[in-house]
Structure 1
Amino acid sequence: MPRLHRLAGAATAVLTLGLIAAAPAVGQEPPVTDAHIAAHFALATGQTPENIALDSDGSADLTFSFARQIARVDPDGTTRTLATLPDVPEPSTPLVHSAIVTGIARAHNGTLYVGFATGTTKTGVWRLARGQEPQQIAELPPNGFPNGLALDEQRGMLYAADSVLGTVWRVPQRGGPATAWATGTALDPLPAPAPGFGANGVKIRRDAVWVSNSDRGTLLRIPVSADGSAGPIEMRAAGLAGIDDFAFPGPGTTVLASMDTVNAVAEVRPDGTSTTVLSAHDGLSNPTSVAVRGRTVYVPSAAYFTQRDPNLLVARLR
């Protein structure tokens, strides 16, 4: 979740409160261990990893937001660029004023889908198929901010969380017009002086779409009805300062959530309680998302506030 650097002071204050509130109990065995940095990136060239999708061979596909790139990090840490989205003259993206690549989702056949926020008609969902150039498959409002992206291959639908318009958009996987699938106060950003990022991360879990709201510090669940429409928005957790994107580490509804402004990853349990499981001491530098394959946890850090060492951290589930 790219943010303006003027928010760094507020983030520091929240960091202290957030880590105290979510500190693990003394003597409790940590659920995430063996954290180490798998790859370091170049802040000066815009290699700020915003979101992640895992490949079947153990590599990680990342969006480098300000470089407008989709990149792949191989298991040995080698990083290579897969594609660069178009340059946009005079972008007017809300909040960040730069054209940026945001969420990423991967289909089983290896096709990648990404969000692109530009403040122009190029704002929307883009597809990167093997051996092809990136192609826009859906246009989203230029005054919005498509952020997290999730793919439901069973229904053939993509879901994009719009941080500014407080909307979850639904887009056919094959491409076509977007539909405002879910709206409501729970998805909206807070008014100024809040940062202005509402609905942010998004994931599919069984027959529901889960969404984080960064300004409100909440984790939400939206049932998918039999006809595909959105059911009532349910609050599943609150008090999650700085929550960005997240992942489910197992078959249940426990979540590992990146908390970018407080430099932490939190385990959010089904009862809504949370515990910090990774922090700046492990190498986090404003983490933006989480992915899990088996017992391996991947956490990209974009260094939006720290301006130091954007990286990809890898750890093990207990």
Structure 2
Amino acid sequence: MITGAGRPAGLRRRAAVLGLAALLGVLAAAPAALAAPDPATAPARPDRAAGSRLCDVRVLAHFDRAAGQVAESIALEPGGSVVIGMIPARQVVRVARDGAVRVLATMPLPPGGGTTTPIVGAPDVTGVARSGSGAVYFLYSSGQGGLTGIWRLSRSGEPRLVVPLPADSFPNALVIDGERHRFLVTDSAGGRIWQAPLSGGRASVWSADPALAPAGFFGANGMKIHHGAVWASNSDHGTVVRIPMTKDGGSGRAEVRATGLEGIDDFDFTGRGNEILAAINQSSEFVRVDAGGARETLLDADDGMQGTTAVIVRGNRVYVTNGANLAGNDPTLMLAKLQRH
């Protein structure tokens, strides 16, 4: 997730979307729903290097932008349904295979309206994750202790705080490290990654490497575990960094693996080594980054990208969310087929 004020013009627009409802009317009108391209007839982009491709791109669900449903994060469920965190609606929703949207939980406004929330000045639901047992977890940033942290949805649908995080943190991406029975959480305000037991309890800083730090706005953002390391994006620096895990699960020194991705939000691996697909929120692009760090735009605003926020790759399926937070007013969940070359 990227949101807030005090940075480049595109980022300031997101602050207006999140914090000032009166400015919603100045956002550009949404383009028509994205039609599925015909890979046999679609013109090839210039200078296409060998690597993964997308085809059969389609919109699976549209969300209610006027109600604050800025689609931000994705967790997949068995059977093809998807759980998504919504900012600033403060919601967790489920999208069925047929595109039907159901609200699972709406977090209450904190006292004072959450204006002390770091960076954005408004409370947000951000990362979501699903455990192997089927439990759904999500992150809530409120600017207040006792509300900010990792929450779990009970079977009754009532959310319960399981890991409190400091009021001055902005938890963004949530990953479950099943091998070590713990949560990992990026903190975009503090430029660090937290860890906490999967059973709940107290969190501790797993890494505060300088490569995670913000440059006055958003630092560590998206995160994945891949081949014995934690990989994280840094929105301000436009980088993807790799942090090796030590034998005891601790953090090693971060190394920058990709640059030139200003405004990057989330990303995921394609299954071709260290190749990734990345959501570039600020420029509404969806890009492929090869193992050497070279980037290629696969989808952009002309293809229906609007404030692209999150991506998950499962097999040959690619799920992408658009938050419509910097441009347009049609937040969506999109589904595409991945072709590896």
TM-score normalised by structure 1 residue count: 0.91
Is residue 161 of structure 2 the alignment partner of residue 140 of structure 1? no
Q: Which residue of 2 aligns with 1:152?
A: 177
> Residues 81-102 of structure 1: CA distance to partner in whole angstroms, max 9, x if unpaired?
1112232122111121111001
Q: Which residue of 2 aligns with 1:37?
A: 59
Q: Determine the C-alpha separation between the residues in 1 that align with 2:220 and 2:194.
A: 11
Is the 2:286–2:298 Cα contact (8 Å) retained in structure 1? yes
Match of 1:53 among 55, 75, 83: 75
User: Closer, same or farther in 2 for the Cα pair 1:186/1:8, shift >3 Å?
Assistant: closer
Q: Which residue of 2 aligns with 1:170?
A: 195
Is residue 329 of structure 2 the alignment partner of residue 308 of structure 1? yes
Q: Which residue of 2 aligns with 1:180?
A: 205
**Alignment-mate amino acid for residue 248 of structure 1:** F
Q: Determine the C-alpha separation between the residues in 2 that align with 1:301 and 1:228.
A: 33
Is the 1:43–1:307 Cα contact (8 Å) retained in structure 2? no
Is residue 270 of structure 2 the alignment partner of residue 249 of structure 1? yes
Q: Determine the C-alpha separation between the residues in 1 that align with 2:327 and 2:273.
A: 33
Q: Which residue of 2 aligns with 1:202?
A: 223
**Alignment-mate amino acid for residue 124 of structure 2:** I
Is residue 261 of structure 2 the alignment partner of residue 236 of structure 1? no
Is the 1:36–1:283 Cα contact (8 Å) retained in structure 2? no
Count how many residue pairs are aligned between Structure 1 and Structure 2. Answer: 304
How far off is 1:178 after superposition?
0.4
Is the 1:201–1:245 Cα contact (8 Å) retained in structure 2? yes
How far off is 1:239 after superposition?
0.8
CA RMSD of aligned residues (A): 1.9
Partner secondary structure for residue 69 of structure 2: coil
TM-score normalised by structure 2 residue count: 0.85
Q: Determine the C-alpha separation between the residues in 2 that align with 1:5 and 1:189.
A: 13
Q: Determine the C-alpha separation between the residues in 2 that align with 1:186 and 1:27.
A: 30
User: Closer, same or farther in 2 for the Cα pair 1:11/1:137, shift >3 Å?
Assistant: closer
> Residues 64-90 of structure 1: CA distance to partner in whole angstroms, max 9, x if unpaired?
111111101111110001112232122
Is the 1:94–1:144 Cα contact (8 Å) retained in structure 2? yes
Q: Determine the C-alpha separation between the residues in 2 that align with 1:244 and 1:262.
A: 11
Partner secondary structure for residue 72 of structure 1: strand
Q: Determine the C-alpha separation between the residues in 1 that align with 2:242 and 2:298.
A: 23
**Alignment-mate amino acid for residue 9 of structure 1:** A
4+ residue stretches of structure 1 with deviation over 4 A?
5-8, 27-30
Is the 2:5–2:119 Cα contact (8 Å) retained in structure 1? no
Structure 2 unaligned runs (5+)? 13-43
Partner secondary structure for residue 180 of structure 2: coil
**Alignment-mate amino acid for residue 99 of structure 1:** P
Answer with 87-96 or 206-215: which moved more: 87-96
